[in-house]
């Protein structure tokens, strides 16, 4: 009940803002945006753009997760690697998104993979830093026990490392997926890859169609929430399965 009331409150604020502006092309009302959304849902335009952006942003996000886990593992194993990677990750995390977008657009054919590369760069430092912290926070007692009993690297990975690091990876992924959508769509608006959500938003801006801009914004927010919850559910299932699996079974599985 309370979430519905909160949503109703902000819809009323939005409607009041639309009344105050008094120009639908500057700030469309919730009714106008809803009407436009209903129109878009039945078109190939929306689903084609969603598929285009989802594929590229999803590729960038998944690549960043895999690369971030790998670089974190290397940094945890080697102080030299950690010292070399730390300033690079800090620079990528602090640099404006638009800087990467402009640099990529200067390359031949840079607009085609713009959303994927931008999403990758935004998510990579988050996954790297968070997973590295998770590796460093592993239970020292369990690690010493694994050394005493001479567990193989793969058995220790399944029994100790993965259960300890997975919550950190889950937290980084939940934050990263939202940033991936923000950065990826922003890159599309600037680079205008054909058939993308960003291209549709830019065209609506040129024609002063605020209802279309807000409708596409709602689509992006919905996709971000949906992918975040799906990812969260998958990671939660993995954590629950690890929590209910006895260490001995994990070692056998490894």
pLDDT tens digits for the chain (254 residues)? 788 899 899 999 999 999 998 888 889 999 999 999 999 998 999 999 999 999 999 999 999 999 999 999 999 999 999 999 999 999 999 999 889 899 888 888 777 889 999 999 999 999 999 999 999 988 788 877 877 777 777 787 777 888 889 999 999 999 999 999 999 999 999 998 989 999 999 999 999 899 999 999 999 999 999 999 998 888 888 777 766 655 544 454 44
Helix 30-41 with 210-244: angle, nearest 10 deg: 70
CA distance 184 to 188: 6
CA distance 196 to 210: 18
Query: Domains of the chain: which residue ranges?
Result: 29-253
The closest alpha carbon to 116, from 101, 106, 102, belongs to 101
| Residue 174: burial class (beta carbons within 10 Å; 0-12, 13-18, 19+) | middle
Instruction: Kindly state the helix (H) or strand (E) to which residue 187 belongs, with its residue range.
Output: helix 162-191
The closest alpha carbon to 27, from 212, 202, 203, belongs to 212
Both tokens of 224, joined, read 């971000």
The DSSP output letter for 188 is H
The total of other beta-carbon atoms located within 10 Å of residue 210's CB is: 22
CA distance 233 to 238: 9
Look at the domain 29-253 and name its fold. MetI-like fold (1.10.3720)
């Amino acid at each position: 009940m309370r979430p519905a009331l909160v949503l109703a409150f902000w819809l009323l604020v939005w409607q009041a803002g639309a009344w105050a502006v008094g120009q639908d092309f500057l700030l469309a009302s919730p009714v106008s945006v809803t009407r436009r959304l209903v129109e878009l849902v039945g078109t190939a335009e929306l689903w084609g753009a969603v598929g285009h952006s989802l594929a590229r942003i999803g590729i960038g996000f998944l690549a960043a997760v895999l690369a971030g886990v790998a670089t974190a593992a290397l940094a945890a194993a080697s102080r030299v690697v950690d010292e070399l990677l730390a300033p690079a990750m800090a620079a990528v995390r602090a640099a404006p998104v638009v800087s990467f977008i402009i640099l990529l657009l200067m390359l031949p054919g840079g607009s085609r993979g713009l959303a994927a590369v931008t999403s990758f760069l935004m998510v990579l430092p988050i996954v790297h830093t968070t997973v590295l912290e998770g590796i460093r926070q592993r239970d020292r007692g369990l690690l010493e026990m694994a050394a005493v009993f001479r567990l193989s690297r793969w058995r220790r990975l399944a029994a100790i490392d993965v259960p300890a690091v997975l919550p950190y990876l889950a937290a980084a992924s939940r934050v990263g997926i939202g940033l991936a959508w923000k950065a990826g769509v922003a890159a599309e608006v600037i680079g205008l890859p054909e058939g993308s959500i960003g291209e549709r938003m830019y065209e609506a801006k040129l024609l002063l169609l605020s209802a279309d801009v807000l409708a596409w914004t709602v689509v992006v927010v919905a996709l971000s929430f949906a992918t975040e919850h799906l990812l969260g559910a998958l990671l939660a299932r993995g954590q629950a399965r690890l929590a209910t699996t006895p260490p001995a079974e994990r070692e056998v599985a490894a």
